[in-house]
């Protein structure tokens, strides 16, 4: 299987320049060796805009006319709706029942078609729409264009912190971690890229141990509050992670909520639970991590007000 290269990521960087925010790498006020890559500041509130913008940029004229379709719990759908609308490309988004209303409402605000299905059916439903309409399927992570787009975060981390020793990156389907690991390994080979996922959705930990995709099933992973990290890796993303990820750790629900609170209170960043897992690893799993200058990817800020209020009340 051909893996995404750093050259692919540089090409993605050229495609998204001027359309995606080059987010700051901020010093964490409570930790002298921790920097925060604040992707929650993107116009759509998450890193997903990078991959979606790159994917839309690579469409042919015929594909643009047919439009795009995806399935998403919110952030990727929101990003693709934004990128497609900006490019004048028709867009449909399949969302699972129970997806955060704050994200789904923002997707609808772009005027795109939203289709709601039971969680296990979302991938099949998106594929069916693509087959019936001719729309181009843009998956949330199982796609070389998406991996390359998300990998631009790695380019920026190394540019802003050339002596970075550790990069902590949340892991769900694995598109972000695949891209970041590819970029960092190419530009800063001595740095370790460590994945972080919830204990209640540790598909990737088990997949890495088995050497093949292990899926817990969404009925089981829906227990975690980190709704963006409930899917297992694909064969494509797992191949990247097996080759390029240096390790993985898991964090508990209480640790995720505590990290969310710390980010809001002390870093003044509004974040969602999925975005807090990398910081949770630094706060509560430090003994399991390599030492040194650490960058944590803070992936998004599209959080339900009730979830945010509950985390801050603890």
Query: Taking residues 103-118, what's their average pLDDT?
Result: 91
Q: Do 6-46+143-313 and 50-137 agree at the fold level?
A: yes
More confident residue, 119 or 239: 239
Query: Taking residues 289-314, what's their average pLDDT?
Result: 90
Q: What integer pLDDT is reported at residue 22 of this predicted model? A: 98
Residue 100 has pLDDT above 80, yes or no: no
Q: What integer pLDDT is reported at residue 167 of this predicted model? A: 98
Q: One of 11, 13, 46, 48 is an active-site residue; which one?
A: 48
Taking all residues of the chain, what is their mean pLDDT, rounded to a whole number?
A: 95
Q: Is position 73 annotated as part of the catalytic site?
A: yes
Beta bridge partner(s), residue 170: 196
Query: Taking residues 61-86, what's their average pLDDT?
Result: 94
**Angle (deg, nearest 10), helices 144-160 and 175-187:** 50
Q: One of 40, 72, 73, 207 is an active-site residue; which one?
A: 73
Contact indicator for 52, 83 with CB cutoff of 8 Å: yes
Highest CATH level, class, for 50-137: alpha beta
Q: What is the dihedral of CA 281, 287, 290, 295, to 10 degrees?
A: 30
Note the CATH architecture for domain 6-46+143-313.
3-Layer(aba) Sandwich (3.40)
Q: Is position 72 annotated as part of the catalytic site?
A: no
Q: What is the tens place of the pLDDT at every residue in 30-55?
A: 999 999 999 999 999 999 999 999 99
Domain-by-domain residue ranges, the chain? 6-46+143-313, 50-137
Q: What integer pLDDT is reported at residue 96 of this predicted model? A: 87
Q: What is the tens place of the pLDDT at every residue in 209-257?
A: 999 999 999 889 989 999 889 999 999 999 999 999 999 999 999 999 9
């Amino acid at each position: 299987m051909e893996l995404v290269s750093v050259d692919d990521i540089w090409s993605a960087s050229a495609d998204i320049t001027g359309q995606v925010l080059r987010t700051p790498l901020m010093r964490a006020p409570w930790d002298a060796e921790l920097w925060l890559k604040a992707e929650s500041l993107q116009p759509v509130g998450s890193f997903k805009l990078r991959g979606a913008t790159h994917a839309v940029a690579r469409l042919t004229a015929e594909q643009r006319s047919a439009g795009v379709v995806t399935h998403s719990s919110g952030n990727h759908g929101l990003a693709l709706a934004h990128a497609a609308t900006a490019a004048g490309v028709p867009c449909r988004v399949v969302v699972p029942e129970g997806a955060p209303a704050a994200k789904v409402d923002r997707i609808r605000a772009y005027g795109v078609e939203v289709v709601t299905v039971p969680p296990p059916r979302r991938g099949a439903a998106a594929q069916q729409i693509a087959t019936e309409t001719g729309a181009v399927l843009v998956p949330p992570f199982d796609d070389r264009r998406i991996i390359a787009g998300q990998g631009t975060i790695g380019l920026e981390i190394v540019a802003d912190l050339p002596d970075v020793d550790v990069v902590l990156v949340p892991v769900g389907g694995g598109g972000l971690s695949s891209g970041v690991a590819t970029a960092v390994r190419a530009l800063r080979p001595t740095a370790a890229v460590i994945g972080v996922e919830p204990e209640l959705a540790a598909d990737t930990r088990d997949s890495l141990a088995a050497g093949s995709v292990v899926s817990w099933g969404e009925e089981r992973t829906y227990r975690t509050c980190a709704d963006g990290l409930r899917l297992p890796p694909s064969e494509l993303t797992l191949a990247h992670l097996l080759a390029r990820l240096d390790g993985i750790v898991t964090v508990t629900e209480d640790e995720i909520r505590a990290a969310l609170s710390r980010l809001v209170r002390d870093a003044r960043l509004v974040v969602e639970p999925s975005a807090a897992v990398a910081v949770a690893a630094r706060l509560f799993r430090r003994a399991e991590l390599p030492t040194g200058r650490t960058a944590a990817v803070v992936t998004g800020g599209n959080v339900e007000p009730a979830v945010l209020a509950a985390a801050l009340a603890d």
